[in-house]
């Protein structure tokens, strides 16, 4: 399988790249900074240097040609303002969808966030509200497309070592932490199960093996 990861140098993206490449898949990581190429190559992936905030559909689609699936794992990141929550977390996700359609790639996995169905807590500030609204808008656009989409909403992400045990299901699963290791493992398993297309799924720590959990939601 050939997978293109938008946000290939992110904390989930690099983990997913290493996991997929380690099992023999072909992985392309889309990054903005050419200095990140070496990190992706160490993970076993090839870097495509594209700025998702300024690129056009044609420029991105070139790097998707021949892929079997695309994963949107990009994000404006901590310290970014309201404007970049929209240009990255929403607009770049839509750009990837348009480019995938143009390149003939049907499978699209969007990494979103728990909490998008509720009105953002004003006490968390305008940047948080912009992030939640951008993620929700991205979901609405992707789920109304003709792509074979899956939306994954992780809970609070941590850098703890993965346990391989998760709770995965349609919303509401309920809040809780989930490691980036286990999130990457779930993404890889979702890509292996085309029957998970058309599903919005929430993810946190739990008691089910990753493969068992993904098999259950795909049945």
Q: What is the CATH number of the domain that holds 140?
A: 3.40.50.720
Q: Domain count of the chain?
A: 1
131 contacts 115 by C-beta, under 8 angstroms:
no
Q: Count CB-CB contacts under 10 A for residue 162.
A: 20
The CA-CA-CA angle for residues 16, 100, 86, to 5°, reads 75
The pLDDT assigned to 41 comes to 97
The pLDDT assigned to 119 comes to 84
How high does pLDDT run on average in the chain? Answer: 95
**Quick one: average pLDDT of 54-83?**
92
| CA–CA dist 28, 35 (Å, integer) | 15
- Res. 121 pLDDT band, cuts 50 70 90: confident
The pLDDT assigned to 82 comes to 85
Pairing state between β 165-169 and 199-205 = antiparallel
The pLDDT assigned to 105 comes to 98
* pLDDT tens digits along 77-93: 777 788 888 999 999 99
Q: Residue 8: give the domain boundaries.
A: 2-218
């Amino acid at each position: 399988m050939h997978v293109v990861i938008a946000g290939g140098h992110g904390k989930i993206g690099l983990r997913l790249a290493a996991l997929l490449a380690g099992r023999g898949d072909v992985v392309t990581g889309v990054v903005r900074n050419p200095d990140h190429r070496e990190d992706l190559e160490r993970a076993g992936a090839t870097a495509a240097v594209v700025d998702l905030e300024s690129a056009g559909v044609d420029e991105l689609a070139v790097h998707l040609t021949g892929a079997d699936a695309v994963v949107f794992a990009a994000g404006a990141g901590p310290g970014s303002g309201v404007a970049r929550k929209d240009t990255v977390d929403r607009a770049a996700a839509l750009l990837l969808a348009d480019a995938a359609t143009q390149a003939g790639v049907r499978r699209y996995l969007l990494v979103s966030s728990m909490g998008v169905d509720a009105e953002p807590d004003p006490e968390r500030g305008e940047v948080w509200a912009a992030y939640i609204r951008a993620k929700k808008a991205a979901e609405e656009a992707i789920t109304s497309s003709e792509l074979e989409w899956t939306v994954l909403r992780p809970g609070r992400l941590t850098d703890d070592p993965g346990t391989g045990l998760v709770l995965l299901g349609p919303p509401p699963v309920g809040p809780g932490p989930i490691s980036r290791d286990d999130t990457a493992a779930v993404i890889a398993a979702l890509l292996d199960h085309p029957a998970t297309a058309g599903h919005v799924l929430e993810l946190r720590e739990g008691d089910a093996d990753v493969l068992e959990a993904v098999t259950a939601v795909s049945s």
